[in-house]
Structure 1
Amino acid sequence: MVAVGQRPGLLLRVLPPGLYGGRASKVVERSVIVYSRMWFVFASGVVEPLLYLMAFQIGFGRLVGDVAGPDGRPMSYVAFVAPALLASSAMNGAVFDATFNVFFKFRYAKTYDAMLATPIGPLDIAVGEISWAVLRGGIYSVAFFGVMLAMGLVTSPWALLLIPVALLVAFAFAAIGMTLVTFLKSPSQFDFIQLAVVPMFLFSTTFYPLSVYPEPVRVLVQCFPLYHGIELMRDFSAGVLNLAMIGHFAYLGALAAIGVYGAYRRISRLLLR
């Protein structure tokens, strides 16, 4: 019989998984290995923003002309829309990974059950999966920013902060998305996810300013997480700094924290009961 002192890892494996922490990197490493064989999935993150911006630059944007920017000064319509599409790209990349992929691993592949049989705990799973979703959203955002730069849409040094803001947007949506997906019972219920994401994309001032809405609708739009990300990106893109940005950062940060805690609690409740 092998003494426990000679096999410290053996003792760790029989402890309650909820005690573990600091191994989220292993969950991220697994995702990196899996997706290294599916590089074409990330290629869409480069092609999609290029098509969007080219459509607005060559087509629809020519019909609209200049619009009022965050500081009231006129700017081209494509420059107005580009930061919003960048925020949407970060949201889409994070939501896809934190919902569809997590649901498959959770309900069908039983990947998390296997992980919890190792020194990986529910908090590691939550942080690891959310981190991977943020990384994926960040890859899409960097590709989008590169297209903006090539098209001459980056005109302010403050625009360099678009990438950190995109990571925050991805973090918030990945965390809350992972929490919500644990409540789904079947793939057909992903319609609820689309029912939330698509209206946010269309109405969170992506294509027109908040002022076009009636007052009651404005209040509703300002509750959308994507709205706060778009406002931050639009301000940084135009080089306009204001106190309202603190509120936008606080909203997204609070949503991310709630999402991480919620994902951890749901995984603990469902897999360790």
Structure 2
Amino acid sequence: MKGGTSWWRGVYLVMEGSAPRYRGNWRICLVSGFVHPTLLLLALGLGVGGLVDGGPQERRVGDGLPYLEYLAPAILVVGAVQTAVGEAIHPIMTGLNGERTYYATVSTPITPSQLAVGHVLWVAARIAVTTVCTCVAVLVLTDVPVAPAVGAAVVALLCGTAFATALSALAVVTADGTGLITLVTRVMILPMVLLSGAFFPFALLPVWLHPVAWALPLWHGVELARGADGALPHLGYLLAFLTAGTALTLTRFRRRLTA
């Protein structure tokens, strides 16, 4: 498949081939995408927020906002990144090592590059579904206006997709291993969430940890979703991360699937 239209037709076919596994459980995906952030917002935003908002450090911890509104943009971004883990890694582990469907796919006119782009776009679509569900929960449970909530959802989609590209490249390299999703969740996601300022102001972290947080996409996503000053550097970082991750994913797919 060569040429502009036919090349993208191949990408579309890759995405279409990923859809059947969700046709039977899309309702469950939508419900879980709404219920999980709802429980987080209720437990942390109202539960912990009741202690924070009534405490002596109210304005320092909540940035002058009710804790629920302070937390909501971060929940959107964190949820997108968490969704990226399973959606980016599991299909690659299955396609290269389990059912080995990727080898069958590239034996057709579909190329490894089309397969890689189709995979990334499908993961982005799945992140978008989760993000929309979370955004609905935010609008229902908080006083965050529609425009900032939608803006934070767009940032969450960008951050989650950028992170997914890096995970996809990693999954191609380690496709013969096991437990990658668990490893990433424990070793990468948990520290990133703690260092991102999602649940408490970034300024409360020790100064020596600040450079570590600056290197993490989640921190930039959370800051951008909250409408922090100096948005362009955060946006530039995420776009650069997305570009580099996509290029690395393309390279890894080509090397792995080109005989």
Distance in 2 (CA, whole Å) between partners of 1:172 and 1:123 is 17
Partner of 2:226: helix, strand, or coil?
helix
Q: Which aligned runs of 4 or more in structure 1 are off by greater than 6 angstroms?
A: none
In the TM superposition, residue 137 of structure 1 has moved relative to its aligned partner by 1.0
Partner of 2:65: helix, strand, or coil?
strand
Match of 1:249 in 2: 235
Match of 2:13 in 1: 26
In the TM superposition, residue 202 of structure 1 has moved relative to its aligned partner by 2.2
Cα distance, 1:162–1:189 mapped onto 2, change above 3 Å: closer
Q: Which structure shows the bigger proportion of residues in helix conformation?
A: 2
Distance in 1 (CA, whole Å) between partners of 2:100 and 2:110 is 14
Tell me whether 1:62 sits opposite 2:62 in the alignment.
no
Cα distance, 1:208–1:69 mapped onto 2, change above 3 Å: closer
Distance in 1 (CA, whole Å) between partners of 2:200 and 2:152 is 19
Match of 1:187 in 2: 178
Which structure has the bigger radius of gyration?
A: 1
Match of 1:218 in 2: 210
TM-score normalised by length of structure 1? 0.84
Instruction: Please say if residues 21 and 121 of structure 1, whose CA atoms lie closer than 8 Å, have aligned partners that are also in contact.
Output: no
Cα distance, 1:67–1:85 mapped onto 2, change above 3 Å: farther
In the TM superposition, residue 38 of structure 1 has moved relative to its aligned partner by 2.2
Tell me whether 1:171 sits opposite 2:161 in the alignment.
yes
Candidates 121, 136, 139, aligned match of 2:126: 136
Instruction: Please say if residues 68 and 75 of structure 1, whose CA atoms lie closer than 8 Å, have aligned partners that are also in contact.
Output: no
Match of 1:201 in 2: 193
Candidates 64, 76, 93, aligned match of 1:103: 93
Cα distance, 1:215–1:202 mapped onto 2, change above 3 Å: closer
Distance in 2 (CA, whole Å) between partners of 1:222 and 1:142 is 27
Distance in 1 (CA, whole Å) between partners of 2:41 and 2:224 is 19
Unaligned runs of 5+ in 2: none
In the TM superposition, residue 116 of structure 1 has moved relative to its aligned partner by 0.4
Which residue type is aligned with residue 86 of structure 1? L
Instruction: Please say if residues 28 and 128 of structure 1, whose CA atoms lie closer than 8 Å, have aligned partners that are also in contact.
Output: yes
Instruction: Please say if residues 138 and 170 of structure 1, whose CA atoms lie closer than 8 Å, have aligned partners that are also in contact.
Output: no
Cα distance, 1:191–1:32 mapped onto 2, change above 3 Å: closer
Paired residues in the alignment total 248
Tell me whether 1:86 sits opposite 2:76 in the alignment.
yes
Which residue type is aligned with residue 232 of structure 1? L
Which range moved further: 111-120 or 58-67?
58-67
Distance in 2 (CA, whole Å) between partners of 1:24 and 1:126 is 8
Distance in 1 (CA, whole Å) between partners of 2:180 and 2:142 is 41
Partner of 1:187: helix, strand, or coil?
coil
Name the % identity: 29
Partner of 1:138: helix, strand, or coil?
helix
